[in-house]
Amino acid sequence: MKLLPVVAVLGLLAPPALAQSTPAPPPITLSELEQLALENNPTASAAAAGIDAARGRTRQAGAWPNPVIGYSGEEIKRGALDTRGEHGFFVEQTVPLGGKLRLSRDVFQKTIEQAEAVRDLQRLRILSSVRQMFYSVLLTERRIDVQERLAVLASEAVGVTAQLFNVGAADRPDYLEMEIESRRLQLQLNRSRNELFASRAQLAALTGVREVAARPIAGTIDAAIPELEREQVIRALLEQSPELRAARGELERTRAVTARSRRETYPDLFLRGGSAYNREHGEDTGRPIGWEGTLEAGVSLPLFNRNAGGIAASRADETRAQAEVTRLELALQSHAASQFANYLTALRASEAYRTEILPRAEEAYRLYLTRYRQMAAAYPQVLVAQRTLFEMSNEYLESLNEAWRAALQLQGFLAGDGLDAPTAAGGAGETPSIGRGGQR
């Protein structure tokens, strides 16, 4: 009479043997996936373009106003041709004073620094997401392998129970329970296969290369999970987080805008010069007077507009930016504490499953099976022990997955998802204009 096979936990959780089949695409490594993502993920190029845009606005903010050139005429009369009058040209130029151009450049120079922080944040998002999805695929593949072996075991158990039922050594409820357990494992296996398909599709989306979804992954979940220390993680987060750097860059930009707003009412110098041909005849010579030069100069007076509203708005933006830096520091500390708790819980759970719970569950199943073979234990006890082993195997993989995910998020400074759109650096689309000189 065929008996239920003994499950070895190390066999269940070991990597699957490579099947002999048609040549498959070469496995792709984590470093290759990271490089593909940095090259092809559209959010990376969008974040880099933000730096180019900020540099362009910096150059534009430091440009002088364009001069105005035009025609001038005086004593022009309608009707018959009049030989008198003046006809000429002029050139007008606004000269910004008080360092307005320098202060305008400073505003957008801060925007460049902020855009660089946004780019670094986006790169970190991409790399962190790729790493998380990489280990998620490996864990799901291992889970499928375990569940396939468990499903085979359950299917064999159904057959053995049927034989025992036929000879009167097992009751029909025992047979029905085993059928239910086998069907439940098949459903779990189907769910894991669907999750693997989704994880591979997400990994391909992160890298921007569709073919990645079909390539085998070169790696193993048996690599040691990073050992992290709480205070060191939080300190590094507050000192090195690109998200915080971007928020602090926004604060510096608003301070530069405030300085520029305060200088807005500083007088600008307006110069106008030209030349006109005076066709009026001189009394002494009887000939046209000829070319005459003109020169005008003036400054703007801040009598009615002292930019009080602009200064107040700039100071309010500065206060808002300072509050955002503080809020983000507190939010990151709170999120890091929560993730670190998840990390420690999952890490200790995975260690306990691997070293204590799974060996005991396997031993309990083996002992119940031996006693059942000797007719010293009821079959439901064997069934309960088998189900416990099944569940502990899956829970071990779940805790391993959670430990990897939390560790990678903490190492990635809680940056977010690699397909989230990069945040635009502050001041995008703004270009200060000065004076009456038209386009910059």
So what's the pLDDT on residue 119? 94
Q: Count of domains in the chain?
A: 1
Closest CA to 149 of 179, 189, 91: 189
Is residue 14 assigned to a domain? no
pTM over 0.85: no
- Domain of 233: which CATH number? 1.20.1600.10
24 occurs within a structural domain: no
| Residue 421, in any domain of the structure | no
pLDDT number for residue 386: 77
Question: What is the residue range of 245's domain?
Answer: 34-63+96-266+302-411
The pLDDT, as a whole number, for residue 437 is: 38
pLDDT score of 44 = 93
Q: What is the DSSP string of 31-63?
A: HHHHHHHHHH-HHHHHHHHHHHHHHHHHHHHTS
Answer whether residue 324 is part of any domain.
Answer: yes
Structure tokens at 369: 């099976």
Q: Is residue 376 part of a domain?
A: yes
Q: What is the mean pLDDT of the chain?
A: 84
Tell me if 227 is assigned to some domain: yes
pLDDT of residue 79: 57
Q: Is residue 27 a part of any domain in this protein?
A: no
**Secondary structure of the chain in HEC code, one letter for each residue:** CCCCCCCCHHHHHCCCCCCCCCCCCCCECHHHHHHHHHHHCHHHHHHHHHHHHHHHHHHHHCCCCCCEEEEEEECCCCCCCCCCCEEEEEEEEEECCCCHHHHHHHHHHHHHHHHHHHHHHHHHHHHHHHHHHHHHHHHHHHHHHHHHHHHHHHHHHHHHHHHHHHCCCCCHHHHHHHHHHHHHHHHHHHHHHHHHHHHHHHHHHHHCCHHHHHCCECCCCCCCCCCCCHHHHHHHHHHHCHHHHHHHHHHHHHHHHHHHHHCCCCCCEEEEEEEEEEEEECCCCCCEEEEEEEEEEEECCCCCCCCHHHHHHHHHHHHHHHHHHHHHHHHHHHHHHHHHHHHHHHHHHHHHHHHHHHHHHHHHHHHHHHHHHCCCCCHHHHHHHHHHHHHHHHHHHHHHHHHHHHHHHHHCCCCCCCCCCCCCCCCCCCCCCCCCCCCC
Q: What is the pLDDT of residue 81?
A: 54
Structure confidence by residue, pLDDT tens digits, 273-328: 999 888 777 777 777 878 888 899 999 888 888 899 999 999 999 999 999 999 99
Q: What pLDDT is attached to residue 378?
A: 66
Do 328 and 243 form a contact (C-beta atoms < 8 A)?
yes
Angle at 362 between CA 359 and CA 368, to 5 degrees: 135
At 120 the three-state DSSP class reads: helix
Q: What is the pLDDT of residues 246-280, one digit of tens each?
A: 999 999 999 999 999 999 888 899 999 999 888 77
**Residue 69 included in any domain:** no
Q: State whether the Cα torsion 306-309-314-318 is positive or negative.
A: positive
pLDDT the model gives residue 96: 92
Give the residues of the chain that fall short of pLDDT 70.
1-23, 77-84, 169-170, 373, 375-380, 427-440
Q: What is the pLDDT of residue 385?
A: 82
